[in-house]
Amino acid sequence: MKLSTLTLSFLLMSGVVSAQEKVSFVNPMIGTVKMGHTFPGACVPHGIVQLSPDTDTIPHSINGVYQKDTYKYCAGYQHDDNTIVGFSHTHLSGTGHSDLGDILIVPVTGEYKFNPGVADKPRSGYRSHFSHDTEVSRPGYYEVVLDDYKVKAQLTATERVGVHKYTYPANEEQKLLLDLTHGIYNYDGKVLWASLRVENDTLITGYRITNGWARENYTYFAISLSKPIKNYGYVDREKPKYTGFWRKFNLQKNFPEIAGRKIVSHFEFGSDNSPLIIKVALSGVSTEGALKNLEAETKGKSFDKIVAEASSKWEKELNVIDVEGDSDKKTMFYTSLYHTMINPSVYQDVDGQYRGIDHNIHQAKGFTNYTIFSVWDTYRALHPLFNIINRERSVDIVNSMIAHYEQSVHKALPVWSHMGNENWCMIGYHSVSVLADAIDKGLNIDKKKALEAMISSSNVDYYDGTGEYKKLGYVPFDKNGSGSSITLEYSYDDWTIYNTALKTNDQAVTDTYKKRALNYHNVFDPELEFVRARYSDGHWKTPFNLLSTHGEGFIEGNSWNYSFYVPHDVKGLIKQMGGDKQFVQRLDSLFTMHLPDEFFADTEDVTREGVMGNYVHGNEPSHHIAYLYAWTSQPWRTQYWVREIMNRMYRNSIDGLCGNDDCGQMSAWYIFSAMGFYPVCPGSNEYVFGAPYFPYMKVKVGDGKYLEIKADKVSDKMCYVKSVKLNGKPYTKAYITYDDIKNGAELTFEMAATPNKKRTFSEADKPYSLSK
Amino acid sequence: MKLSTLTLSFLLMSGVVSAQEKVSFVNPMIGTVKMGHTFPGACVPHGIVQLSPDTDTIPHSINGVYQKDTYKYCAGYQHDDNTIVGFSHTHLSGTGHSDLGDILIVPVTGEYKFNPGVADKPRSGYRSHFSHDTEVSRPGYYEVVLDDYKVKAQLTATERVGVHKYTYPANEEQKLLLDLTHGIYNYDGKVLWASLRVENDTLITGYRITNGWARENYTYFAISLSKPIKNYGYVDREKPKYTGFWRKFNLQKNFPEIAGRKIVSHFEFGSDNSPLIIKVALSGVSTEGALKNLEAETKGKSFDKIVAEASSKWEKELNVIDVEGDSDKKTMFYTSLYHTMINPSVYQDVDGQYRGIDHNIHQAKGFTNYTIFSVWDTYRALHPLFNIINRERSVDIVNSMIAHYEQSVHKALPVWSHMGNENWCMIGYHSVSVLADAIDKGLNIDKKKALEAMISSSNVDYYDGTGEYKKLGYVPFDKNGSGSSITLEYSYDDWTIYNTALKTNDQAVTDTYKKRALNYHNVFDPELEFVRARYSDGHWKTPFNLLSTHGEGFIEGNSWNYSFYVPHDVKGLIKQMGGDKQFVQRLDSLFTMHLPDEFFADTEDVTREGVMGNYVHGNEPSHHIAYLYAWTSQPWRTQYWVREIMNRMYRNSIDGLCGNDDCGQMSAWYIFSAMGFYPVCPGSNEYVFGAPYFPYMKVKVGDGKYLEIKADKVSDKMCYVKSVKLNGKPYTKAYITYDDIKNGAELTFEMAATPNKKRTFSEADKPYSLSK
């Protein structure tokens, strides 16, 4: 749903937003169809609650057969569905794997149904039809009418509480379902245990423990109700294996303490015609923690007040960047900014208690604990972005990662972690990059402890080929099907350790990791001048397909794309690739070569629009590639291709995202690229120039300090950089540094309709490279 | 196993015990065959760890068919078995329902087997044959040789840590199994989840969550090893339903973090020929809690030191009573005293954190939290005994019960609770009796809060007929198959509330509960003059069988036995039974009537020896009956029958217990009866006289204060009381009071070979009765 003129007018009239407000430019519906995997529901910045409609929950396997469609529902919602199962409280934003969907609530009327039913059989379960015409989605607020029940549902949230307002048809008995079996990426047995207590007639507590992508996820809750429960009960969708002496009771009716593996409970509230308001607080610690969260964040607050506060929280966060430009582009920009502010999410109770990776309860001391670290994606641009626009949060995130390391039996930083669990998704030990970048930016973290954690994480020999990598200098294909991808990424990660060690004058570490940082050479076939799958004995894989993403030693990328992945040693890479001319030709070819559609049938996580030539923007390994021209003789080409990518792959429409948003990484790429520069090599101090996207941007980089980015007359035509000034003075480098902008700066671009091919860079003015 | 002369000599020579020590008179083997349901393993007084061999674990059902033999293994051990499955850390003492058996460890050699196998197929699994010849069992210590592996196993314990010492055959690879699927009353699916971390090569942590009799039991552990693990791994006895990206790893070998539903792990230690010592700390809170417990209780302590400390702890506790008498009787006495000091068990970490009945973690403030409350059994004599010999522990227990009440969504005191769970076993709300007795004895507890909890517990209308009871004055048979038992027990419980309210001068409560205390009349059929099953409409059940324990409105007792259950209004009962003569006749008949063996085939929880006439001592409802003669014209008969029961039903032999010891209630009955009096009506200040069993007893009743009980010449022949003196003065009442003995006293019985039939009691000297 695009925010319609009518809706906007209504919002303006109602005073919820004013024309100047940033929230009015956010369209949470962008990316909610196909591969975006975003959700339209209500949340506040980095809150742990994402209260959103689930339109389906295809189990991940039926009778042992994997269901491909499961993948569609990573965020629980696909815009082309026409039924809503209910509203659940936790959703990942833009991921390529799915989980969560905890604590599903459905307002219903009439006869109960205790299973969700299937979309193509109307009324086969409790799910309801809905129309997008009734949907309203804006930051912190979602609204829809469930047609089958004629219930208007309005949702909002605080950091830890989902708030529901249900308006039932007149004179109907108001009913609720609370389905503790529901989940995203559900399978038979995912819920290990669920428990529910009706504490009194307006308060319910409970929890469930699930074995999903998060191997052991503890979701505690406390639900306060605006009116007393008249009657309640439950069904257990599985015959309990053991009931003991609980059989004494009539558990099914008005019995306040139920538990089991497959519990669906129901509540009735009479028919007094007033709306029912429900506040659902979450905690990873305990029901006591959920009650504290409920009280601290919502006590005494009306639904409308919470809606207004949620909007204010977004406005405050989005206010970090002012942008001038056309409405569609501003919408895409602020929606992207919005998407960078959902995950990571605060994972602690209001009193600082949280469940660690060891599943013990810890007290966060001196930091706020965060979770949902899609690090393979987000180390690239999201964390670097935080280091500019939200350094405090970045410190918290780094401290959360270090706490994870300290609790980890592997003594490793997060790979892909959520809800107190490591899920090991994707490759690399890229948290080292996140720490390195924070240290490089001078953030207030314990450098010594951080370096210890980085070194330790890179020496878990049983982790994904690390032992082989240390021994052979690469991860062999016969031991690991993604060995060449991994080798490249470890090389970069090792560079971040090298670069951090440099700052702490640790010579032994510096030497070791400098050597490791050059390991990428070991997977470059000198004949092909491309990265190739290599066996333990040193032989290259034959036959070898440069274009296939499957079975050739790579993951989420082919050799063509991955061969450009040496962000820390681009000069070395250019040599390895045969020199400037061939390197530029190859970059050009990447963006322009013609490949038949069938070729992309197996490419993960991206729509056909997410591919340009052989360049796959919908997956992350290529995100820096368009910026590599900066090291070549033809840097202007970056300006062209970056704008092409922005225009083609980020569109203000429901299907406007070309691939998974990946917890904000895709969006962070867009924010950086719009600013006119990009962190090709996080951990270095440099951002490599592209070209600005908007005529004016003002980026808050600290208290009262701003980076202003001026590009008068910039447009799709006037997309080339003629010259650059920093604080009014001509600026001739291919990059700016963090130190240049951290205390505010004015960056002025003179734009032109044709490339300034004379604007090339001396070796000294080129961006960082390990090899000179 | 009876402690053999040889073993005793060895112990004496080794200095572990001296001839005078009380521990030398304890034989933990008593009750380990047939119905005693005691265990032979190592524990310290009221510790949460009971480290003991499990000889079998018949699942509670196979292919949906209930397995009767499951019941045999309530304590995991039956002395007539010839194989040991392994050593697990938690065992209930003497219960009639089973659970626990958590964290099974088995020292093995040779090829691994990962399932326990079955007893009648040698070597079908990891279980091993053993011989009782190699067994040593004494307080805090257990030893056996596992013949199939030729491993000598020695076990000891602290409150929260089980300590194992395994001596393997020379030059054999030393191996351990840690079977997290093992459990007592196991069924497929009991283990909801188990997790294990190898923190380093001498430390393992983990936990499991089980759904058993304790509906949600969280058992965390930390295991320290005396020598480094060389290799380790596990098998998952169920194909995991979802593994996510953990499939990246070779989880089966030396991977330090495993989890699943059916995990059996194994560890190898090389073959250095030194014994392997393992310390296994438990916690209901967290692995962090288990580590704290491990450190606090065992750090730096050798196996031998912990053995010696365990012995000292027992010696100190058992020292509360000195007894003179013959060796067999002393053994029976101190073994009984030992059995009163296992449950309830401390259920908190060393820092006071514990898991409450709401499954949240609580901090015990100002008390030590206890669990395993078999209240239906233990309110009768065990808690009253604590109120004499261990008042501090009694205060802790009462405070634990009040904490349970406060955490309970039902706002009810424990019925039968263990490990932070209410299991609802048996009937009544007898914790009110425990609180009432503690208040009556002047213990330092919050009276107001206690009375609030008592009143609340008696008004949970959906609990076991309470609503009907309040409405009709009895629990009708058509609503509840145990209705008449329940009515009698609620009447007594209500009397304890009445009697407590009297002390707080709460007139309204007093009036209400005095009326409720007389509800027992409502199930007395005036024609039969026996208690009878009664329907909601007031009609009596017809036909009605006075002798059957099944289907007649009773539980664990028949009408004949239960009709005597009005401990708070014996005078009222005598009237209801037709007066003194008929009452005495009926008491006599109860003990003497001839019933065919077949009659007892269905009687629960007792051996044939546990029945005398129609009197069933193995079940609790009759425990006070032999003392009821005190209210009649023939009080001397109590002296006869009590000694008969003691001699017949408590014998120093492995099968010496006539029924379940029931967490010490059977034993507490014996201790009281040996002292010569019994708390017929807990909550009153009185103990009703029987006759002393030993010539001399000295009971510590406070710091430096003693109750001395002298009965020169008492024997099976000289078993009748001629006269009594209290502190040297003739004493003519049928009872003594707590106030008489609480600060120490001398009670002298003159014994005789024939009853002193003239020693009858005036109405004023008879024990308490609500009706006069």
Question: Can you spell out the DSSP letters for B107-162?
Answer: EE-SS---S---TTSTTSSS-EE--GGG-EEETTEEEEEETTTTEEEEEEE-SSEE
- CB atoms under 10 Å from CB of B110, counted, come to 10
pLDDT, position B596: 79
The burial class, CB within 10 Å (0-12 / 13-18 / 19+), for B754 is exposed
What are the pLDDT digits (tens) for B479-513? Answer: 999 999 999 999 999 999 999 999 988 899 999 99
Cis peptide before A567 (omega within 30 of 0): no
The helix/strand/coil state of B105 is strand
Interchain CB contact of B326 with A (< 8 Å): no
Q: Which residues of A touch B198 (CB under 8 A)?
A: 409
Cis peptide before A240 (omega within 30 of 0): no
| Cβ contacts of A71 within 8 Å, gap of 6 or more | A96, A98
Percent helix, strand, coil in chain B, to 5, is 30, 25, 45
Of A187, A241, A409, the CB nearest to B197: A409
**Percent of chain B at pLDDT above 70?**
95
E-only strand ranges, A344-452: 345-346, 353-355, 361-363, 370-371, 373-374, 416-418, 421-422
Residue of B nearest to A423 (CA): B245
Contact B197 A244 (CB under 8 A): no
Contact B409 A257 (CB under 8 A): yes
Of B192, B195, B358, the CB nearest to A193: B192
pLDDT, position B60: 67
Class of domain B320-354+372-752: alpha beta
pLDDT, position A58: 74
What ipTM score was computed for the predicted complex, to two decimals?
0.95
Whether A611 shows a pLDDT value over 90: the answer reads no
Whether B6 shows a pLDDT value over 50: the answer reads no
Interchain CB contact of A418 with B (< 8 Å): no
Residue type, A103: I
The pLDDT mean for chain B works out to 94
The burial class, CB within 10 Å (0-12 / 13-18 / 19+), for A596 is exposed
What are the pLDDT digits (tens) for B422-470? Answer: 999 999 999 999 999 999 999 999 999 999 999 999 999 999 999 999 9
Contact B242 A424 (CB under 8 A): no
What are the pLDDT digits (tens) for A82-124? Answer: 999 999 999 999 999 999 999 999 999 999 999 999 988 878 9
Distance CA B479, CA A176 (A): 31
Given a contact cutoff of 8 angstroms between Cβ atoms, the answer to whether B709 and B752 are in contact is no
Residues 21 to 60 of A: which have CB under 8 A from any B CB? 60
Whether B319 shows a pLDDT value over 60: the answer reads yes
- Substitution target from A186, A219, A241 for chain B, most B beta carbons within 10 A: A241
More confident residue, B703 or A281: A281
DSSP state at residue B684: B
Report the pLDDT averaged over residues B539-556. Answer: 95
Contact A256 B423 (CB under 8 A): no
| Cβ contacts of B68 within 8 Å, gap of 6 or more | none
Closest CA to A144 of A67, A215, A86: A86
Given a contact cutoff of 8 angstroms between Cβ atoms, the answer to whether B627 and B642 are in contact is yes
pLDDT, position B12: 44
CA distance A410 to chain B (A): 7
Q: Which long-range contacts (CB under 8 A, 24 or more apart) does A199-202 make?
A: A199/A256, A199/B409, A201/A225, A201/A228, A201/A229, A202/A226, A202/A227, A202/A228, A202/A229
Contact B215 A246 (CB under 8 A): yes
Ordered DSSP codes for B468-488: HHHHHSS--TTT-TTHHHHHH
Containing A463, the helix (H) or strand (E) segment is none
Report the pLDDT averaged over residues A36-56. Answer: 97
Report the pLDDT averaged over residues B529-554. Answer: 96
Residue of B nearest to A248 (CA): B464
Contact A410 B248 (CB under 8 A): no
Closest CA to B70 of B183, B184, B213: B184
Place of tokens 């965060």: A370
- In this structure, of A120-124, A471-475, B42-46, B652-656, the range with the lowest mean pLDDT score is A120-124
Closest CA to B661 of B616, B600, B605: B605
Chain centre to alpha carbon of residue A596: 30
Contact A189 B213 (CB under 8 A): no
Distance CA B586, CA B589 (A): 5
What are the pLDDT digits (tens) for A197-213? Answer: 999 999 999 999 999 99
Distance CA A562, CA A282 (A): 41
Predicted model pTM: 0.95
Q: Which residues of B touch A286 (CB under 8 A)?
A: 359-361
The burial class, CB within 10 Å (0-12 / 13-18 / 19+), for B502 is middle
Name the token pair of A666. Answer: 């895709």
List beta partners, residue B422.
B417
Interchain CB contact of B286 with A (< 8 Å): yes
Cα distances (angstroms) measured from residue A708 to each of A385, A704, A733: 16, 12, 18
Of B199, B286, B358, the CB nearest to A287: B358
- Substitution target from B215, B252, B480 for chain A, most A beta carbons within 10 A: B215
Report the pLDDT averaged over residues A259-269. Answer: 97
Closest CA to B759 of B730, B722, B728: B722
Instruction: Parse chain B into domains and list their residue ranges.
Output: 31-316, 320-354+372-752
The helix/strand/coil state of B556 is coil
| Cβ contacts of B606 within 8 Å, gap of 6 or more | B35, B600, B616, B617, B618, B619, B658, B659, B660
Tell which phi-psi region holds residue A198, choosing left (phi > 0), alpha (psi between -120 and 50) or beta: beta
Contact B241 A187 (CB under 8 A): yes
The helix/strand/coil state of B751 is strand
What are the pLDDT digits (tens) for A135-156? Answer: 999 999 999 999 999 999 999 9
**Percent of chain B at pLDDT above 90?**
89
Interchain CB contact of A64 with B (< 8 Å): no
Contact A248 B424 (CB under 8 A): yes
Residues 423 to 482 of A: which have CB under 8 A from any B CB? 423-425, 462-464
Residue of B nearest to A194 (CA): B216
Closest CA to A384 of A624, A586, A186: A624
Report the pLDDT averaged over residues A51-76. Answer: 82
Interchain CB contact of B358 with A (< 8 Å): yes
Closest CA to B286 of B219, B363, B194: B219
- The architecture in CATH of the region B31-316 reads Distorted Sandwich (2.70)
φ and ψ at B163, to 5 degrees?
-120, 125
Cα distances (angstroms) measured from residue A179 to each of A43, A70, A163, B286: 21, 19, 17, 29
Closest CA to A329 of A767, A717, A702, A694: A694
Whether B600 shows a pLDDT value over 90: the answer reads no
Contact B255 A462 (CB under 8 A): yes
What are the pLDDT digits (tens) for A479-489? Answer: 999 999 999 99
Contact B361 A360 (CB under 8 A): no
pLDDT, position A479: 97
Tell which phi-psi region holds residue B614, choosing left (phi > 0), alpha (psi between -120 and 50) or beta: alpha
What are the pLDDT digits (tens) for B641-650? Answer: 999 999 999 9
Report the pLDDT averaged over residues B108-129. Answer: 93
| Cβ contacts of A427 within 8 Å, gap of 6 or more | A376, A464, A482, A485, A486, A489, A555
Whether A353 shows a pLDDT value over 80: the answer reads yes
What are the pLDDT digits (tens) for A283-319? Answer: 999 999 999 999 999 999 999 999 999 999 999 999 9
Given a contact cutoff of 8 angstroms between Cβ atoms, the answer to whether B47 and B160 are in contact is yes
Containing B339, the helix (H) or strand (E) segment is helix B327-339
| Cβ contacts of A581 within 8 Å, gap of 6 or more | none
CA distance A50 to chain B (A): 23
pLDDT, position B595: 84
Contact A241 B359 (CB under 8 A): no
Cα dihedral B322/B327/B332/B337 (nearest 10): 20
Whether B17 shows a pLDDT value over 60: the answer reads no
Name the token pair of A716. Answer: 């799709």
CA distance B247 to chain A (A): 9
| Cβ contacts of A13 within 8 Å, gap of 6 or more | none
Residue type, A33: V
Tell which phi-psi region holds residue B399, choosing left (phi > 0), alpha (psi between -120 and 50) or beta: alpha
Given a contact cutoff of 8 angstroms between Cβ atoms, the answer to whether A483 and A562 are in contact is no
Whether B64 shows a pLDDT value over 50: the answer reads yes
Closest CA to A583 of A591, A592, A569, A573: A573
Structure confidence at residue A8 as a pLDDT band (50, 70, 90): very low
Distance CA B86, CA B583 (A): 52
Residues 190 to 219 of B: which have CB under 8 A from any A CB? 190, 192-193, 195, 197-199, 205, 207, 209, 211-213, 215-216
Distance CA A740, CA B384 (A): 80
Report the pLDDT averaged over residues A568-574. Answer: 98
pLDDT, position B327: 93
Report the pLDDT averaged over residues A41-65. Answer: 88
**Beta-sheet strand order (sheet of A136-138):** A136-138, A141-146, A151-157, A161-167, A276-283, A217-225, A203-210, A191-200, A257-260
The helix/strand/coil state of A210 is strand
What are the pLDDT digits (tens) for A482-513? Answer: 999 999 999 999 999 999 999 988 899 999 99
